[in-house]
Amino acid sequence: MKGGSTDRILGELDLWDYPQIQLPVRSRLCHLPPVGINTPLVECFTSYIARLAAAHHVSVNSLISTEIKRFLPKNCSGSGDYNVTTLFPLAKALNGRGRLAQYWVEALEQLTLRHDLNILTMLKWRGILPSYGLMRSERSWCPNCYQEWFETARTVYEPLIWTIKAIGNCFQHNRRLVNECPFCGKCLPFLGSYYRVGHCSRCMKWLGNAHKGGTFTGGPYNQGGIEWQRWVTTNIGELLALPKEVSPPNKDRVAKTLTTLVSHCSKPTYRGLAEVLQLSSSELYRWCKGELLPQLNSILHICHSIGITLVDFLTKDKLMDDMNVVLGAFNTPLKIKKRVRHSPEPQMLKRQLEKILHSNKLPPLSMLAVGRQLKLHSTVLRRHFPEICREISAKYTQYRVSRRLENINLACEEAKHIILGLHAEGINPTQSRIRQRMSKCGYSRNEQVQHEIVTMKRKLGC
């Protein structure tokens, strides 16, 4: 080919005329999709955090301390100067409807570039449901669900419905939810340093075992316990399965609906409606005035009494026009069973308190433990027997102080032996190495222990 033809052909090729490729924005953490979106078994937020840590092959503690913590505001627990372990007892709030859950959802959405993590909590319903009595304080699970998901190669996770206090049964496997590890007997928090979904966060054993556990019994109601639990589970499941596009009602919706119920009652007064629904008239009055939000159990009781679903009660407009009912023409199908407390005789109670006071059992009981043992609140005991209760508290406080001093002295001696051992091995006795070898590493931060460590290192010239 001649040189002129080659130059002409190359001149006709526009090698630089390529469209620029726009790369999508990359998320800092894995863009992990939640499980069970728009279903009654939607995943809870703490389960998502644990699965996100497993996707990155790190512990939950590492994920929180190295990544999530930096994206949280300074006034949020678990950030700033807070230690990560201080968060774990508060982890139940991450699945709830409070400010802590809001902070964490915003942080995780920023890290994963997802926009659907809000539905893994109860934040959507924070305008109508109070936090009190809404969420469980410890994990609950169905071992059969764990085992079934594992054997069918499905994702093992914890549904949000298991974290709600009103739910006590798994009707898919006809059994009660479990809240204690069958191996170590411990109640489990929603997060732990090395928490893995489906495993105990304390002994790390697998919790999915379809052969253990019994069938459920009736719930805390005196009529139709199992039927009531089934109805509650169905309605809460429908509430959690609502799509993200459904706008949540505000606080005024519940007050307006209850006020409408009062006008449709055969006795159109707050007391008349309270008698029909078997509720407190003073609480009902405050609910109607918007001064107080009814708890989830109370709303469920009202919905069951008037024959509507929870979703309709909270989201449907012109509810009474569609129902066309007159309250008072029927009996309430369920009645909440009230616990009747039988107070023991004062003399017998006094003898029991004196027996506890003069007991040589170690450790001595605190007033909180005494109240639990006698099935009475500690304030009631202090009101009727102030002197004895004061002596019990003083005995417990003295024991705690003496035990702490003893532990500090033992920690000082242990730190000295560790420093000598490290020095003999030719290893620099740093704070981290000393802490790793101590049986109770928390005491290494104590001022007296720190003083002994510095003094011993100076003597050895370290």
What secondary structure letter does DSSP report for 318? S
**Residue 315 pLDDT:** 81
Q: Which of residues 105 and 324 earns the better pLDDT score?
A: 105
Range 49-63 average pLDDT: 94
Range 244-257 average pLDDT: 80
**CA 257 to CA 266: how far, in whole Å?**
16
User: Cβ distance 188 to 201 under 8 Å?
Assistant: yes
Is the peptide bond prior to 363 cis by the omega test (within 30 degrees of 0)? yes
Straight-line distance from the first to the last Cα atom of the chain, in angstroms, rounded to the nearest whole number: 82
pLDDT at 344 over 80: no
**Residue 443 pLDDT:** 78
pLDDT at 335 over 60: no
Residue where the block lists tokens 């549904």: 159
Contacts of residue 414, defined as CB under 8 A and 6 or more positions apart, other chains included, come to 438, 439
**Residue 78 pLDDT:** 47
Output the DSSP codes for 72-91.
S-TTSTTSTT--GGGTGGGG
**Residue 274 pLDDT:** 83
Reported confidence tier of residue 371, pLDDT bands at 50, 70, 90? confident
Lowest mean pLDDT of 7-21, 316-330, 387-401, name the range. 316-330
Query: Per mean pLDDT, which of 28-37, 166-175, 256-265, 298-307 is the most reliable?
Result: 28-37
User: Cβ distance 288 to 261 under 8 Å?
Assistant: no
Reported confidence tier of residue 223, pLDDT bands at 50, 70, 90? very low
**CA 251 to CA 259: how far, in whole Å?**
13
pTM above 0.75, yes or no: no
pLDDT, averaged across the chain: 82
Percent of the chain, pLDDT > 90? 30
Reported confidence tier of residue 332, pLDDT bands at 50, 70, 90? very low
User: Cβ distance 201 to 183 under 8 Å?
Assistant: no
Contacts of residue 125, defined as CB under 8 A and 6 or more positions apart, other chains included, come to 97, 239, 248, 314
pLDDT at 105 over 90: yes
Helix 281-288 to helix 270-277 angle (10° resolution) is 120
**Residue 363 pLDDT:** 86
Residue-wise pLDDT tens digits, 372-399: 888 888 888 888 888 999 999 999 999 9
Query: Per mean pLDDT, which of 189-203, 258-272, 277-291 is the most reliable?
Result: 189-203
User: Cβ distance 260 to 273 under 8 Å?
Assistant: no
